[in-house]
Structure 1
Amino acid sequence: MTVLVIGATGEIGRAAVATLSRRYDVLGVSRGSEPAVDITRPETLDALFSTHEPFEAIVVLAGAVPFAPLADLSREDFEAGLASKFLGQVEVVQRGTAHLVDGGSFTLVSGLLSDHPVPGSAAASAINSAVNGFVAGAAPELPRGIRINVVSPSLVSDEPQYDGPFAGYPIAPAAQVAQSILRAVSGQETGRVLRAGW
């Protein structure tokens, strides 16, 4: 069986593929891969699912949110972030459930701004919180023993510190976040927010 990683070319995605590959067969995809998968374009998900056997797990590490002062954020900014990081991940779950084996799992991604906002993070904080809430609500409804969790990483970097509004915030290397993703894939938990690095 294969674990699907959507968003495999980002910093966390690359680390997740490397970590999961030690235990599973992994198919890593992104908007620039072949096949190309963009979670804001549901037809790309359908095309992928139609050409593969059911997956053991689906990991989503994709989705963008705007980061700007609240006064500068428009309705369109919020809608774009919701369409990408929130509704994009919801689409993966809704369309992917039929393409998971019994007892398979989804792992989504949010972030520490849901609990620890900074100036400029109003949209990101709201959308990360929405992802966390979706996972809690979806867990008891998924069929066939399918599990769902969300990994909420701290700031991710191999550098020792961030400046500006993130000064003093916890930082974790991507490899540490990947260990939380492995836990979500291989464990028995469901409906959980797995905090990585904070």
Structure 2
Amino acid sequence: MTRQRVFLIGATGTIGKAVHEMLTARQHEVITGGLQDADIELDLSNPDSVCDAFETLGRADAVISAAGRAAFFPLDAADAAPLAESPYGLGLIDKLMGQVNLALLARHYLNKGGSVTLTSGTTSDDPIIGGSSLSMVNGGLEKWVMAAATEFPAGLRLNAVSPSIVIETPAAQRAAFAGFEQIPASKVALAYVRCLESRITGQTLKVC
């Protein structure tokens, strides 16, 4: 196994913590990025912030995003509206386009053989009440990864991980996933390791 320099966004989150622990245990160098409590401050919803973060980071072997925000709301609470006023706006701007912009910028900073791994989620296949924004964003991200990987620069890889609800998630959030099998974050972290250390590309690894 080759030691890699990994830029990990969202390392303070439930899944991000598990990914950070596993990568560190495997002797990778991990530089964290996020809104707070990170080595490099970064706001996925702001492309300039993402660009500045890469300028601070410099070259890397891999970029992993375990971040991305989207809103929960009943469909009755949504109406036709401009993006800035829509409850769908957060998910589209942050979790979807934030990660797309992250991957696009990463192309210019990754070393040969580098990889990008993004995070979608189980609602791309299994909808939940109040989760139409999550389903839209997660499904769109997975299809973008599939398509964009075919046009990524030669030698660079692009994948996504789609985790189900993890046991360590706060109870209030887990309640929205009635009937879903809950999985440990450490199991989800293995999927990110596979994306990092294998040669797969254009894939979404479903962890459930």
TM-score bin (small chain): over 0.9
RMSD: 1.7
Task: Call closer, same or farther: CA 1:135–1:163 in 2, change over 3 Å.
Answer: closer
The one-letter amino acid paired with 2:20 is V
Residue number among 54, 58, 63 corresponding to 2:63 in the alignment: 58
Normalising by structure 1, we get a TM-score of: 0.93
Aligned residues: 196
Normalising by structure 2, we get a TM-score of: 0.88
The aligned runs of 1:1-198 (5 Å cut-off) are 1-23=4-26, 24-32=28-36, 33-74=38-79, 75=81, 76-158=86-168, 164-196=175-207, 198=208
Give the whole-Å Cα distance in 2 for the aligned partners of 1:88 and 1:163. 24
Q: By how many angstroms is 1:59 displaced?
A: 0.2
Instruction: Give structure 1 stretches of 5+ with no counterpart.
Output: none
Q: By how many angstroms is 1:158 displaced?
A: 3.8
User: C-alpha offsets along residues 112-150 of structure 1, whole Å, 9 cap, x if unaligned?
Assistant: 001000221111111100110110011010103111110
Q: By how many angstroms is 1:163 displaced?
A: 6.8
Amino-acid identity (%): 34
Q: Quick check: 2:40–2:56 contact (8 Å CA) kept in 1?
A: no
The worse-fitting range, judged by mean Cα deviation, of 69-78 and 161-170 is: 161-170
Q: Quick check: 2:166–2:184 contact (8 Å CA) kept in 1?
A: yes
Instruction: Give structure 2 stretches of 5+ with no counterpart.
Output: none
